[in-house]
Structure 1
Amino acid sequence: MLVGAPDIAVGDVLGSCVFNLAILALVDLLHRDGSVYSRAGSAHVLSAAFGVVLLCAVGLAVLLSRQGTMPVVGHVSASSLVLLVLYLVAMRTIYRLEQRETTVPVQGHPAMTFRHALTGYAVAASVIIAAGIWLPFVGVELARTMGWSNSFVGTLFIAFATSVPELATTLGALRIGAIDMALGNLLGSNLFDVLILVLDDLAYLPGSIYRNVAQVHAATAITAAMMSGAVIVALVYRPTARVLRSMSWASISLVVLYMINAAVQFRHVQ
């Protein structure tokens, strides 16, 4: 938002949601002890379901704001207030469910104390924040140099860069056998990404951010919602079979939807 490029900001948020869900396909591919969906806890269904609700709300906000039918309070869209309430409800509901669920402890790092873990977390978070502030400037320059739209660059390139920490964290969790941590990281990140969109709307002083971005972002939001729906089906059905011994049909659908959204974004550039 520091560079005044709302399409970069919105594309980054929604593109990250799509990419995070695509990472699930990679997790399923690397998890050789059966389908990852058959080993994950049922509580993730709730996170994915709230993801569908929030992402559909974002897509609707973009479409209605572009038509000028979404109310605005000051310079902030009323949809941001709705998204904030939905996010808080989601967090409280997920927290209450987790309190009722019994969790299986995972193996931690044998040589790492709580203090070291907290320090490492703070350092890593600081690096990510610094990189996140710098990336929009790179994105705007990349779009200008290549003649691409800001929405395309934000949705694919900036979103990929900002999702690398989720990728690393997820693979690390998978390595120590923490399947629920891996899925929780990805699905929880999507919920938090929507909250970032609310903050972006607050920071964008010229008006509602949803009204000043390309309508193609609604397609990304809908794609992310569809991918979340596929995850819900997989978590409920718990498939065990793998297509060509690689990944489940649910993961293949995630990859296909990701590629379709990338194609839609690319066509929007032309």
Structure 2
Amino acid sequence: MIDSLSLPMVLALFVVAGLFIGVLGVRMTALADRLGDCTGLGEAVVGGVLLGLATSLSGVVVSVTAALDGRASLAFANGVGGIAAQTAFLVLADLMFRRANMEHAAAELASIVQAALLSLMLAVALLAATGPDIALWGVHPASVALVVIYGLGVRTTARVRQTPMWHPETTPETRTDTPDDEAGEGERLWLLLVQFAALAVMLGVAGWAISKAGGRLSDMLGISETTVGALMTAVTTSLPELITTLAAVRRGALQLALGGIIGGNTFDVLFLTVSDVAYRDGSLYHAVGRGDLFWLTIGLAMTAVLLLGLVVRERRGIAGIGFESVTVLGLYGLAILVQAMQ
């Protein structure tokens, strides 16, 4: 049906679906914060796992739909481009939090573990794309490895928060995660989970519309699928991460803001796994071009810089933000420039 729409209608569909995705993100922030308090898991874990997963659902649907349509570059670039865009969103959050560098104030071991996990998963994807072209039933072994690594990483993240082997130094600017209410309200927790699941399903439906509209725009405007995936569908489906991050900072939930971005990025790597399964013309990793791998490398570099910032914890740098935010913004701007020149 979308293939028969005119260009103005396709653009309108893309914009409306994007706005719909963005609006849902506001409600999900409050729900995720409450879930972190009710379950006792904390903002960093809930933000890194539950909120990161839910706000990524629209992006998952985009990548899977594109892969089923045989659009390997769109599926791949949507996932890795979203990682780059969402990491850049942290710069906006850092600018909003004027008390200190946000990575300093949001000191949380779970976020450091999540960032290291994300770096490992991106490296595995890069190895798969640059290594031998192998596949079992059309699926590269690296896709299975990514799921295993993610599962073990989530388990490790929860464990280090419960029994950390070291703690970040507390300073006057450090913001701790203090639950708003007492945990153990079973019925209330059940209602929160139902609301959260309903919003996540609606995000998935909007993601399907974004994927179809994005693929159609690539055909009609003659824009490469890499450009559409990395800079259009990826940014649009990442709007929940942007909105939830900024809303979380305004609420003072810094660990939720940081954990939501890093956790969402970690889950976004699994886009490659599900896209590899959905893509039926062999291994997805060897059906993409150098431009797609460029965005994967940019995401890896930005994550490494963020991890350094979380460890160094500079209190205040240029424009009141840390060196990591300045570098991340520079890397993303460079990536956009390179993509525009191709």
Do they fold alike, i.e. is TM over 0.5? yes
Look up the equivalent residue of 1:62 and give its one-letter code. Answer: A
Tell me by how many angstroms 1:43 deviates.
2.5
**Match in the other structure for 1:88:** 151
Look up the equivalent residue of 1:19 and give its one-letter code. Answer: A
1:144 paired to 2:210:
no
2: distance between equivalents of 1:70 and 1:46? 31
**Match in the other structure for 1:23:** 89
1:55 paired to 2:122:
yes
Q: CA RMSD in A?
A: 1.8
- Could you list the per-position Cα deviations for residues 130-184 of structure 1 after superposition, in whole angstroms to 9, with x for gaps in the alignment? 0111111111111122211101100110000110111111122112111111111
1: distance between equivalents of 2:177 and 2:290? 44
1:248 paired to 2:315:
no
**Match in the other structure for 1:43:** 110
Larger RCO (CA under 8 A, 6+ residues apart): 1
- Could you list the per-position Cα deviations for residues 89-112 of structure 1 after superposition, in whole angstroms to 9, with x for gaps in the alignment? 21221121122259732447xxxx
Q: Is the 8 A contact 1:43 1:97 kept in 2?
A: yes
Q: Is the 8 A contact 2:109 2:161 kept in 1?
A: no
Q: Is the 8 A contact 1:62 1:211 kept in 2?
A: yes
Tell me by how many angstroms 1:250 deviates.
1.2
1:214 paired to 2:289:
yes
TM-score, normalized by length of structure 1?
0.89
**Match in the other structure for 1:72:** 135
Q: Is the 8 A contact 1:20 1:163 kept in 2?
A: yes
2: distance between equivalents of 1:172 and 1:39? 16
Q: What count of residue pairs does the alignment treat as equivalent?
A: 259
Matches within 5 A, 1:152-167: 152-167=227-242
**Match in the other structure for 1:261:** 335
Tell me by how many angstroms 1:84 deviates.
2.1
**Match in the other structure for 1:193:** 268
Tell me by how many angstroms 1:115 deviates.
5.1
1: distance between equivalents of 2:136 and 2:255? 39
Q: Is the 8 A contact 1:44 1:183 kept in 2?
A: yes
Helix, strand or coil: the match of 1:73?
A: coil
- Could you list the per-position Cα deviations for residues 76-127 of structure 1 after superposition, in whole angstroms to 9, with x for gaps in the alignment? 112212222222221221121122259732447xxxx545533432232122
Tell me by how many angstroms 1:17 deviates.
0.5
Matched-pair identity in %: 30
2: distance between equivalents of 1:106 and 1:265? 43
**Match in the other structure for 1:231:** 306
2: distance between equivalents of 1:170 and 1:244? 20
Tell me by how many angstroms 1:51 deviates.
0.9
Q: Is the 8 A contact 1:42 1:236 kept in 2?
A: no
Look up the equivalent residue of 2:177 and give its one-letter code. Answer: V
Helix, strand or coil: the match of 1:50?
A: helix
TM-score, normalized by length of structure 2?
0.71
Helix, strand or coil: the match of 2:109?
A: coil
Q: Is the 8 A contact 2:68 2:280 kept in 1?
A: no
More moved, 114-123 vs 194-203? 114-123
1:6 paired to 2:72:
yes
Q: Is the 8 A contact 1:70 1:79 kept in 2?
A: no
Q: Is the 8 A contact 2:177 2:253 kept in 1?
A: no
